[in-house]
Copies of this chain bind each other. A is one copy, B any other.
Amino acid sequence: MGSDHCPASEVEGAIEAVSQYGVRVLLAGPEERLRAELAQRGAGSLPIEILHADEVITMEDSASSALRKKTNASIRVAARAVRDGRAQGVVSAGNTGACMAIAKTVLGVVPGVKRPALAQVFPTLEASWSVLMDVGANVDCTPEMLAQFALMGEIYSKIICHCPSPRVGILSIGEEEHKGNELTKLTTPLLKELPVRFIGNVEGRDLYSGAADVIVCDGFTGNVALKVSEGLVAAIRQILKESLEKTLQRKIGYVLAKNAFEDFRKRVDYTEYGGAPLLGVKGVCLICHGRSNANAIKNAVRVAAELSQDNVSARIEAAMHESFAALNAASV
């Protein structure tokens, strides 16, 4: 209930997910209002259940006060459903900080993980994926946190992106090892000690170049990188649209090449990729953009369902447990 277009995006996204993927959805929020929203869309008979929750965490709430005071908030009720086994994953487009705090508290943290973090996949030119983490869960990070992100991101890349031997890079401002800030310089020696294929510094452009399969950074930098990308995609679509409408000849060209633009849109539109999984908590938790539309919610539900199939969450947990044992042995 805490997103920018809520509950319209959530209700429509749930209806689409249920219709297209054969999943069941539990909607957490004020029962009467949600029931009316569903009825209005003729979806009263779909397998969508409502979990009543009468509080809402807004974007203005701090994570700590939301956690302390709003114990019946929709996101909290949804997380409890996962903890209690009524649901296999939770999806939210609300306040990221509050979502994370609640997921940590209600679902619990995988033993050994210092801080759960948000992973975001980016499409690369080599028709594969790069995983960037953290993209906003932890704004001020220590080298030890980044080392853990590397381990979690590597496991995610293996299991979800089917990358057999992920190359792990650290996001910096030049390829040479001496280029970076205090955090990257202190993190590099730790990454060298880890049982991952560490390739050193990568740069902002490598989110898309395919030079690395996993890229670690603090959550502030990662969030800026993600939102710069979203903003640029939106700007480019707008610029192209205006430019293509300028003359009749261009308009005809656009009509002929329309499917190419649709391909393009699908590859760069963040709403196609669903939310970002919060790795390091027990269970599946996807955090979406505050401005998610129905398509983004639908895809996040799809990704959550995929993550819960084959017990992927438990596999990540087991693999992380193993890596962290190695990491702790290396005294990180």
**Which residues of A are interface residues toward B (Cβ below 8 A)?**
59-60, 62, 97, 123-125, 136, 139-140, 171-174, 176, 178-182, 203-209, 217-221, 223-236, 238-240, 243-244, 246-247, 249-250, 252-261, 263-264, 267-268
Contacts of A246 in B (CB 8 A): 260, 263
In the complex, A256 Cα to B97 Cα: how many Å?
48
Query: A64 to B59, alpha carbons, bound, how many Å?
Result: 45
Chain B min CB distance to A234 (Å): 7
Give every chain B residue within 8 A of A125 (Cβ-Cβ): 234-235, 238-239
Q: Which of A62, A174, A228 has the most CB of B within 10 A?
A: A228
The complex is assembled from copies of this chain, and their number is: 2
Asked if residues A260 and B231 are in contact (CB atoms below 8 Å), the reply is: no
Q: How far is the CB of A77 from chain B (nearest CB, A)?
A: 24
Q: How far is it, in angstroms, between the C-alpha of A113 and the C-alpha of B207 when the chains are bound?
A: 34
A243 touches B255 (CB 8 A): no
Extra contacts besides A139-B182, A173-B224, A228-B232 (7): CB < 8 Å = A203-B231, A204-B223, A204-B224, A209-B231, A249-B256, A253-B255, A256-B256
Could you tell me the distance between the alpha carbons of A130 and B257 in the complex, rounded to whole angstroms?
A: 32
Q: Can you identify 5 A-B contacts, CB atoms within 8 angstroms?
A: A140-B182, A180-B220, A207-B228, A228-B232, A252-B253
**A141: shortest Cβ distance to chain B, in Å?**
9
CA distance A182 to B209 in the complex (A): 31
Q: Which residues in B have their C-beta under 8 angstroms from that of A60?
A: 176
B228 touches A225 (CB 8 A): yes
Query: Which residue of chain B is the closest to A263 with respect to CB atoms?
Result: B243
Q: Which 3 A-B pairs have the closest CB atoms?
A: A205-B231, A253-B257, A204-B227
**Most B CB atoms within 10 A — which of A209, A232, A258?**
A232
Residue of B nearest to A206 (CB): B231
| Interchain CA distance A203-B140 in the complex, whole Å | 17
Contact B228 A204 (CB under 8 A): yes
Q: Given A205-B227, A263-B243, A267-B239, are A181 and B257 neighbors across the interface (CB < 8 Å)? A: no
Asked if B231 and A257 sit within 8 Å, CB to CB, the answer is no
> For residue A243, which residue of chain B has the nearest CB?
B260
Among A140, A205, A206, residue most surrounded by chain B Cβ atoms (within 10 Å): A205
Tell me whether A230 and B256 are in contact in the complex, defined as CB-CB below 8 angstroms, given that A221-B224, A238-B125, A264-B236 are known contacts. no
- A231 neighbours in B (Cβ, 8 Å): 203-209
Chain B residues with CB under 8 A of A240? 260-261, 264
Cβ of A97: which chain B residues have Cβ within 8 Å of it?
Answer: 179
Contact B176–A59 (Cβ < 8 Å): yes
Complex: how many Å from CA A250 to CA B264? 13
| Contact assessment for A204 and B226 in the assembled complex, using a CB-CB cutoff below 8 Å | yes
Interchain CB contact (< 8 A) of A220 among B62, B207, B221, B255: B221
Contact, CB under 8 Å: A225 / B208:
no
